[in-house]
């Protein structure tokens, strides 16, 4: 029966569709963002890492909620404060037929941080660690100081065959060196047009259900939706929020949604005595009000998050009170989204010495996050309600990020208040704490994206303690405490909402939504 | 004669040099590519490493000299995003854009000329008015909107054509082309028509004006007096004469067809040069933008140079005037 159905489906699709879709078990995916290379170590960015996950495996995998699960390593544990041991899986084969062992791990560690011309390398996960091969199936990693994030860092490293240790990015893009141990194997890549994968029958894990996967990059949102409606692709990611309602009602489609690790928040200038885009209402210069925690708290209370989520985001977001949604490692049980309280906000402003408010211009990108410009406009109106006369300027991301990070004459951030987003690549709270709230410090590599230059010795101390705590429970508690200080007490940033991502598939398929926003063919299942 | 050519040649070199300076500096003052490329988790050391590797820590004039030095050896730099030669990436995409533009051009002639002739023969008939109104729409409707509407109608509602992408290709002399496969043609129909729409409207107007003029010419009257059929009068005598301005204008418009393909390529996810350029602009992939613009500048300069030279060969007055200056 199944065979007959497949035969009919095959015949029908052969008649109607392109030969690419002729096989019954082909999955065609319309992608919003195309990877820049097949080389798994070339560009450490979401579309590339998502693709690499199909072809390659890692010692430790991250599941759909970014929890760590065994991959090419079957177990890992710290054997003392400075050493971790990984036991490797036996009997795994690369798609070129060679066996997987410790040499391949060493080769990957050697190659990953040193790919020429890499626009964003994996060095940040590998530096400070000394990898050692103990025997063919045991690896030890040493660090100078206790390093609890070892497993998370290792879970980002794609394992290549040791034969490919000197391969160039071109060798991977052409398929010459592209041998992996992942669920799919590489067939061809025509940049801008299609990327074809085939099932890897020797995959050690759960057998993938698709014989063949074709990724088609369709960057334009409306075109991507149209391609799905037309049946040219079976599945798309990055469904535009404006289409979600309509697609939900379409009986031929099925939507999958999941909260992501990305928070949309506001950075506030906390390092200048006079902030360039803030003045008194008459235009005269005033001391930067954002230095006062009461003003920052007032801004947070002024935001009606429920309304913003309902109207601007069409319900596709979750109001935020901290850096990561509930359920992630290291989130604080004490922090809830600030309730809308304009009267309380006005009182705080008055107490801080601004009973009549002030004038402020806020900035944000208009093509980076879902509805970014609209969110900022809504928030600005809410600020105006409590007496802070707020105007908005949004710009394309390529211009915005330069100015927001280093646009001022002394290479410091240019704006007074910006809307930005942060996805926690590690899936736990240390990533945003380190990058967004920790004191900006080049030498220590802290606060690299701290565009408000919030700085608190108290939080820094707790965070430093957390980053050295190997015991998971202790670290989780310390990260939560650091968040309590950074956001609860000091309002270093103002969280707005957690982004919810939407994927759409034709009826009969569903997607296991991932919090890291990646699109995996492995996650597209039949129901 | 040779003095003239040498002088023109020198002028062209100056134009290319000045354009390269304007393009390079213009592209380099906008934004910071590293912000677009880097993983947000990267620390300051990694950001500094990327800035150094891409050569962005150097002052702009140094970067420019470096670019010129390499450009003179035929290397227009490596894409920041793909890490491959910018020139190679653009050349890879040329066939897709070129065949799309060619098909669009063909459509402009095949659809535009007959409609224009019909409208020209009976300017007051209802059919002519419909054609002319249609051509106004063709001029004024935004390309991206028409493209999306076409997808909604022909791909989503009717399901006749594939919505996006390029379809199957075959290799001819090492170049991947899609107009030789059925699947490729089906994929090409909508984007080519979308791209051609503006040109069709243009050709209709040209052909109509030409036909109206030709209908009153003596040779048409004479042909009719000879008792030739109306079909023969139109197909042979009128058509021949109105094609001259149409071909001239379309030749000139071919460049803009390639330039305007940016919008159509984005809507239909067509993997051509235009899409590469627009992606490069979004990601601040400066080498690609610079290489693309330099190629365009070079093409235009070479065409103009050839035209100038031909002109001087054909028309001695140009030469004389030039010498007398």
* pLDDT score, position A331: 93
Mean pLDDT of chain B: 84
Among A90-94, B70-74, B306-310, the range with the most confident prediction by mean pLDDT is A90-94
* pLDDT score, position B322: 54
Structure tokens belonging to residue A429: 């709270």
| A window 411-470, beta carbon within 8 A of B | 422-423, 425-426, 431, 435, 442, 445-446, 448-449
pTM of the full structure: 0.84
C-beta contacts of B9-14 below 8 A and 24+ residues apart = B9/B305, B12/B301, B12/B302, B12/B304, B12/B305
How far from each other are the two terminal CA atoms of chain B, in whole angstroms? Answer: 14
Q: Which pLDDT tens digit goes with each residue over B94-139?
A: 888 888 988 998 999 899 888 988 888 888 888 888 888 888 888 8
Length of chain B: 325
Structure tokens belonging to residue A40: 């798994």
Q: What is the 3-state secondary structure (H, E, C) of A36-89?
A: CCCCCCCECCHHHHHHHHHHCEECEEECCCCCEEECCEEEEEEEECCEEEEEEC
| A window 284-343, beta carbon within 8 A of B | none
Residue A110's nearest CA partner among A126, A133, A94 is A126
Q: Which pLDDT tens digit goes with each residue over A109-149?
A: 999 998 988 888 898 899 889 999 999 999 999 999 888 88
d(CA A360, nearest CA chain B) in Å = 24
User: What is the 8-class DSSP label of residue A337?
Assistant: P
Mean pLDDT of A491-495: 95
3-class DSSP state of A401: helix
* pLDDT score, position B299: 77
Q: Which pLDDT tens digit goes with each residue over B217-267?
A: 888 888 888 888 888 888 877 887 788 778 777 777 777 787 678 889 989
Mean pLDDT of A141-161: 92
Question: Searching chain B, which residue's CA lies closest to the CA of residue A191?
Answer: B271
How distant is the alpha carbon of residue B212 from its chain centre? 30
- At how many degrees (to 10) do helices B2-28 and B316-324 cross? 80
Rg (CA), chain A: 25
Q: Which option is the CATH number for A261-499: 3.30.70.890, 3.30.360.10, 3.10.105.10, 3.30.559.10? A: 3.10.105.10
Q: Which pLDDT tens digit goes with each residue over B270-304?
A: 888 888 888 888 888 899 999 988 888 887 788 77
Q: How far apart, in whole angstroms, are the C-alpha atoms of residue A449 and residue A445?
A: 10
Residue A288 has pLDDT above 90, yes or no: yes
* pLDDT score, position B94: 86
CA B152, B153, B159, B163 torsion: positive or negative?
negative
Of A2-16, A25-39, A146-160, A444-458, which gets the smallest average pLDDT? A2-16
Q: How far apart, in whole angstroms, are the C-alpha atoms of residue A136 and residue B275?
A: 47
- What's the pLDDT band for A161 if we cut at 50, 70, 90? very high
**Torsion angle (degrees, nearest 10) of CA B262, B265, B266, B271:** -110
Structure tokens belonging to residue B187: 């994929």
- What's the pLDDT band for B325 if we cut at 50, 70, 90? very low
Question: Searching chain A, which residue's CA lies closest to the CA of residue B148?
Answer: A223
Q: In which residue are the tokens 């944000």 written? A: A364
Angle, CA of A151, A155 and A159, to the nearest 5°: 125
How distant is the alpha carbon of residue B302 from its chain centre? 16
Rounded percentage of chain A residues whose pLDDT exceeds 70: 95
Cβ separation A119–B83 shorter than 8 A: yes
* pLDDT score, position A14: 43
B contact test, residue of A43, A49, A120 with most B CBs within 10 A? A120
For residue B256, give Cα distances in angstroms to A260, B98, B168, B272.
43, 12, 27, 15
Length of chain A: 527
H or E element, residue A503: strand A493-506
Structure tokens belonging to residue A84: 């971790």
Q: What ranges in chain B are assigned the alpha helix state H?
A: 2-28, 33-37, 44-53, 60-72, 86-121, 126-140, 143-150, 182-215, 218-225, 230-232, 239-267, 273-283, 286-314, 316-324
Q: How far apart, in whole angstroms, are the C-alpha atoms of residue A479 and residue A466?
A: 6
Q: Where on the phi/psi map is residue A175: left (φ > 0), alpha (ψ -120 to 50), or beta?
A: left
Mean pLDDT of A250-260: 92
Mean pLDDT of A10-33: 63
Q: In which residue are the tokens 């393909």 written? A: B261
| A window 368-407, beta carbon within 8 A of B | 396-399, 401-402, 405-406
Residue A49 has pLDDT above 70, yes or no: yes
Cβ separation A431–B41 shorter than 8 A: yes
Mean pLDDT of A451-461: 93
Q: Which pLDDT tens digit goes with each residue over A162-184?
A: 999 999 998 999 999 999 999 99
Cβ separation B82–A191 shorter than 8 A: yes
Q: How far apart, in whole angstroms, are the C-alpha atoms of residue B88 and residue B75?
A: 10
Q: How many CB atoms lie within 10 A of CB B212?
A: 16
H or E element, residue A196: strand A194-199
Cβ separation A227–B159 shorter than 8 A: no
Q: What ranges in A181-329 are assigned the alpha helix state H?
A: 221-229, 241-249, 293-302, 305-307
* pLDDT score, position A277: 95
Which residues in A385-407 are b (16+ Cβ under 10 Å) and which e? ebbbbbebebbbbbbbbbbbbbb
B134's CB contacts (< 8 A; 6+ apart) are B201, B204
Q: How far apart, in whole angstroms, are the C-alpha atoms of residue B262 and residue B138?
A: 18
**Torsion angle (degrees, nearest 10) of CA A274, A278, A283, A285:** -10
How distant is the alpha carbon of residue A146 from its chain centre? 26
Rounded percentage of chain A residues whose pLDDT exceeds 90: 73
Nearest-by-Cβ selection for A44 from B39, B53, B159:
B39
Rg (CA), chain B: 25
Q: Which residues of B touch A62 (CB under 8 A)?
A: none
| A window 35-74, beta carbon within 8 A of B | 36-37, 42-45
Domain ranges for chain B, please list them: 1-80+284-325, 90-273
* pLDDT score, position A414: 93
CATH number of the structural domain B90-273: 1.10.3720.10
Mean pLDDT of chain A: 90
Structure tokens belonging to residue A48: 């590339």
- What's the pLDDT band for A13 if we cut at 50, 70, 90? very low
CA A143, A144, A148, A149 torsion: positive or negative?
negative
What are the E-state strand segments in A65-192? Answer: 68-70, 73-80, 83-88, 129-135, 138-143, 158-159, 184-190
d(CA A428, nearest CA chain B) in Å = 12
- What's the pLDDT band for A9 if we cut at 50, 70, 90? very low
User: What is the 8-class DSSP label of residue A338?
Assistant: P
For residue B309, give Cα distances in angstroms to B4, B296, B315.
8, 20, 10
Residue A449 has pLDDT above 50, yes or no: yes
* pLDDT score, position B318: 61
Q: Which residues of A touch B38 (CB under 8 A)?
A: 119-120
Residue A34's nearest CA partner among A21, A18, A17, A51 is A51
Question: Searching chain A, which residue's CA lies closest to the CA of residue B280?
Answer: A398
Q: Which residues of A touch B151 (CB under 8 A)?
A: 223, 226-227, 230
Q: Which residue has the higher pLDDT, A74 or B217?
A: A74
Q: How far apart, in whole angstroms, are the C-alpha atoms of residue B231 and residue B237?
A: 10
Cβ separation A226–B151 shorter than 8 A: yes
Q: How far apart, in whole angstroms, are the C-alpha atoms of residue A62 and residue A68?
A: 5
Q: How far apart, in whole angstroms, are the C-alpha atoms of residue A22 and residue A12?
A: 9
Mean pLDDT of B202-216: 87
Q: Do B273 and B88 touch, CB atoms closer than 8 A?
A: no
Q: Which residue has the higher pLDDT, A118 or A3?
A: A118
Of A514-518, B5-9, B170-174, B190-194, which gets the smallest average pLDDT? B170-174
Q: How far apart, in whole angstroms, are the C-alpha atoms of residue B233 and residue A214?
A: 54
- What's the pLDDT band for A20 if we cut at 50, 70, 90? very low
Residue A267's nearest CA partner among A363, A354, A377 is A363
d(CA B118, nearest CA chain A) in Å = 36
Mean pLDDT of A30-59: 93
Nearest-by-Cβ selection for B164 from A37, A227, A435:
A227
- What's the pLDDT band for A24 if we cut at 50, 70, 90? low
Q: Does B185 touch chain A (CB under 8 A)?
A: no
Nearest-by-Cβ selection for A192 from B32, B44, B275:
B275
* pLDDT score, position B93: 87
Cβ separation B31–A116 shorter than 8 A: no
Residue A305 has pLDDT above 80, yes or no: yes
Cβ separation A192–B276 shorter than 8 A: yes
Of A238-242, A397-401, B301-305, which gets the smallest average pLDDT? B301-305
Q: Do A318 and A347 touch, CB atoms closer than 8 A?
A: no
* pLDDT score, position A10: 45
* pLDDT score, position B95: 87
Number of cross-chain residue pairs from A and B with Cβ atoms under 8 Å apart: 175
Q: Which residues of A touch B186 (CB under 8 A)?
A: 18
Cβ separation A448–B47 shorter than 8 A: yes
Q: Which pLDDT tens digit goes with each residue over A180-230?
A: 999 999 999 988 889 999 999 999 998 899 999 999 999 888 899 999 998
Task: Give φ, ψ of A75 to 5 degrees.
Answer: -155, 155
- At how many degrees (to 10) do helices A342-351 and A293-302 cross? 160
């Amino acid at each position: 029966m199944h065979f007959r159905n497949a035969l009919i489906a095959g015949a029908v699709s052969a008649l109607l569709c392109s030969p690419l879709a002729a096989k019954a078990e082909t999955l065609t995916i319309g992608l919003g963002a195309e990877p820049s290379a097949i080389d798994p170590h070339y560009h450490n960015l979401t579309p590339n890492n998502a693709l690499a996950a199909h072809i390659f495996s890692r010692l430790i995998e991250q599941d759909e909620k970014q929890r760590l699960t065994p991959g090419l390593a079957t177990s890992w544990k710290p054997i003392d404060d400075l050493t971790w041991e990984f036991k490797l899986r036996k009997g795994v084969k690369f798609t070129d037929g060679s066996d997987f062992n410790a040499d391949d791990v060493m080769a990957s560690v050697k190659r990953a941080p040193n790919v020429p011309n890499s626009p964003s390398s994996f060095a940040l996960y590998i530096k400070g660690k000394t990898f050692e091969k103990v025997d063919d199936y045991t690896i030890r990693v040493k660090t100078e100081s206790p390093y609890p994030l070892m497993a998370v860092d290792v879970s980002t490293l794609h394992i290549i065959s040791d034969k490919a240790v000197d391969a160039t990015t071109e060798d991977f893009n052409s398929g010459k060196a592209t041998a992996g141990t992942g669920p799919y194997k590489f067939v061809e890549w025509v940049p801008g047009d299609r990327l074809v994968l085939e099932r890897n029958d020797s995959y050690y894990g759960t057998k993938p259900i698709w014989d063949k996967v074709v990724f088609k990059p369709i960057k334009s949102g409306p075109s991507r939706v149209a391609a799905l409606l037309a049946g040219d692709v079976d599945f798309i990611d990055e469904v535009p929020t404006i289409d979600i309602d309509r697609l939900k009602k379409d009986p031929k489609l099925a939507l999958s949604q999941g909260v992501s690790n990305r928070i949309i928040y506001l950075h506030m200038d906390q390092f200048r005595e006079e902030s360039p885009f803030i003045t008194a209402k008459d235009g005269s210069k005033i001391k930067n009000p954002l230095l006062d925690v009461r003003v920052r708290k007032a801004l947070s209370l002024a935001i009606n998050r429920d309304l913003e989520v309902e109207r601007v985001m069409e319900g596709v977001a979750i109001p935020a009170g901290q850096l990561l949604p509930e359920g992630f490692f290291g989130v604080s049980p004490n922090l809830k989204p600030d309730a809308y309280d304009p009267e309380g906000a006005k009182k705080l402003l008055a107490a801080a010495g601004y009973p009549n408010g002030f004038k402020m211009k806020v900035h944000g990108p208009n093509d980076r996050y879902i509805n970014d410009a609209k969110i900022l406009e809504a928030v600005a109106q809410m600020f105006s309600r409590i007496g802070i006369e707020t105007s908005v300027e949004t710009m394309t991301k390529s211009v915005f990020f330069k100015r927001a990070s280093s646009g001022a004459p002394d290479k410091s951030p240019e704006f007074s208040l910006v809307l930005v987003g942060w996805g926690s690549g590690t899936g736990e709270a240390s990533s945003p704490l380190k990058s967004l709230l920790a004191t900006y410090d080049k030498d220590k590599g802290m606060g690299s994206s701290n565009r408000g230059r919030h700085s608190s010795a108290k939080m820094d101390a707790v965070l430093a303690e957390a980053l050295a705590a190997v015991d998971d429970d202790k670290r989780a508690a310390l990260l939560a405490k650091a968040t309590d200080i950074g956001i609860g007490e000091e309002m270093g940033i103002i969280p707005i909402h957690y982004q919810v991502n939407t994927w759409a598939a034709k009826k009969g398929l569903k997607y296991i939504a991932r919090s890291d926003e990646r699109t995996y063919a492995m996650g597209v299942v039949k129901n | 004669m040779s003095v003239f050519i040498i002088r023109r040649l020198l002028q062209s070199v100056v134009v290319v040099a000045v354009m390269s300076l304007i393009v390079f500096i213009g592209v380099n003052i906008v934004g910071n590519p590293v912000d677009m490329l880097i993983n947000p988790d990267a620390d300051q050391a990694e950001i500094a490493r990327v800035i150094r590797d891409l050569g962005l820590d150097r002052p702009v004039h140094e970067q420019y000299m470096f670019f010129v030095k390499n450009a003179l050896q035929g290397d227009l730099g490596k894409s920041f995003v793909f890490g491959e030669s910018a020139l190679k990436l653009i050349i890879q995409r040329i066939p897709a854009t070129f065949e799309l533009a060619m098909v669009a051009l063909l459509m402009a002639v095949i659809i535009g000329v007959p409609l224009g002739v019909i409208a020209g023969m009976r300017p007051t008939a209802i059919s002519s008015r419909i054609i002319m109104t249609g051509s106004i729409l063709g001029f004024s409707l935004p390309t991206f909107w028409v493209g999306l509407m076409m997808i909604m109608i022909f791909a989503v509602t009717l399901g006749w054509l594939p919505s996006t992408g390029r379809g199957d290709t075959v290799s001819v002399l090492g170049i991947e082309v899609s107009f030789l496969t059925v699947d490729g043609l089906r994929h090409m129909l909508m984007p080519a028509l979308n791209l051609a729409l503006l040109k069709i409207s243009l050709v209709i107007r040209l052909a109509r004006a030409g036909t109206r003029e030709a209908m009153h010419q003596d040779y048409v009257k004479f042909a009719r007096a000879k008792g030739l059929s109306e079909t023969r009068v139109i197909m042979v005598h009128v058509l021949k004469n109105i094609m001259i301005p149409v071909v001239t204008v379309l030749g000139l418009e071919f460049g803009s067809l390639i330039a305007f393909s940016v919008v159509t390529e984005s809507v239909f996810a067509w993997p051509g040069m235009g899409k590469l350029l627009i992606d490069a602009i979004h990601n601040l992939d400066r080498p690609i933008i610079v290489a693309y613009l330099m190629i365009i500048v070079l093409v235009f300069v070479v065409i103009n140079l050839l035209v100038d030279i031909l002109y001087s060969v054909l028309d001695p007055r140009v030469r004389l005037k030039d010498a007398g200056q």
